[in-house]
């Protein structure tokens, strides 16, 4: 279930992205990504059922409640919630989905295959920082290691 660079580029061209599972904890990796995407000019919408706001921005309980709707969803939920969140995305008409895997993150091969079969663009298990221009040097090292190990996304 390898990803494609064209799908990654297509996702990163979106402007309004829901970050599902953004943490209430300031030092959490999801918050680092949240802030970076906002600094890059993305309209990032926080989604977390246990938060009313993130950095002063209204937080939505679920992806279907986001108004105006997001063009894509970056899912950073615990693994046991991932399939349900993907279903919610599809029901809400969100067809561009990025699953951040991380150490305890969001990837379920069956759910990915099902979403792709329904016509969704799904980037599964990649770290967005590896593909964002001008990211810190260690993200470039991460990409290099992925290439060496044969797990870097395919061209085309």
Query: Residue 63 and residue 135: Cα distance in Å, rounded?
Result: 27
The residues near 48 (Cβ < 8 Å, ≥ 6 apart) are 20, 21, 22, 23, 24, 54, 59, 61
Q: What's the Cα-to-Cα distance from 126 to each of 24, 97, 110, 146, rounded to whole Å?
A: 22, 12, 17, 10
pLDDT at 103: 45
Strands annotated E in 21-92: 43-47, 53-54, 57-58, 72-75
pLDDT at 57: 94
pLDDT at 140: 86
Domain limits, the chain: 5-149
Cα distance between the two ends of the chain: 14
For the chain, 156 residues long, give each residue's pLDDT as a single digit of tens: 689 999 999 999 999 999 999 999 989 999 999 999 999 999 999 999 999 999 999 999 999 999 999 999 999 988 888 889 999 999 999 999 999 876 444 467 788 888 999 999 999 989 999 999 888 888 889 888 988 998 889 886
Fold of 5-149: Rossmann fold (3.40.50)
Residue with the two structure tokens 């064209």:
6
Give the neighbor-by-neighbor strand order of the sheet with 121-124.
Answer: 43-47, 16-20, 72-75, 96-99, 121-124
| Other residues' Cβ atoms within 10 Å of the Cβ of residue 156 | 7
Distance of alpha carbon 83 from its chain centroid, rounded? 14
């Amino acid at each position: 279930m390898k990803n494609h660079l064209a799908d990654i580029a297509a996702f990163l061209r979106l402007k309004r992205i829901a970050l599902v599972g953004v943490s209430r904890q300031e030092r959490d990796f999801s918050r680092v990504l949240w802030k970076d995407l906002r600094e890059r000019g993305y309209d990032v919408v926080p989604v977390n059922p246990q938060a009313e706001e993130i950095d002063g921005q209204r937080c939505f309980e679920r992806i279907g409640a986001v108004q105006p709707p997001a063009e894509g969803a970056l899912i950073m939920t615990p693994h046991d919630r991932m399939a349900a969140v993907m279903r919610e995305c599809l029901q809400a008409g969100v067809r561009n989905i990025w699953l951040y895997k991380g150490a305890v993150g969001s990837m379920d091969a069956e759910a990915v295959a099902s979403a792709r079969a329904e016509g969704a663009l799904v980037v599964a298990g990649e770290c967005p920082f590896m593909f964002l221009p001008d990211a810190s040097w260690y993200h470039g090292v991460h990409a290099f290691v992925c290439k060496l190990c044969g797990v870097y996304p395919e061209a085309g």
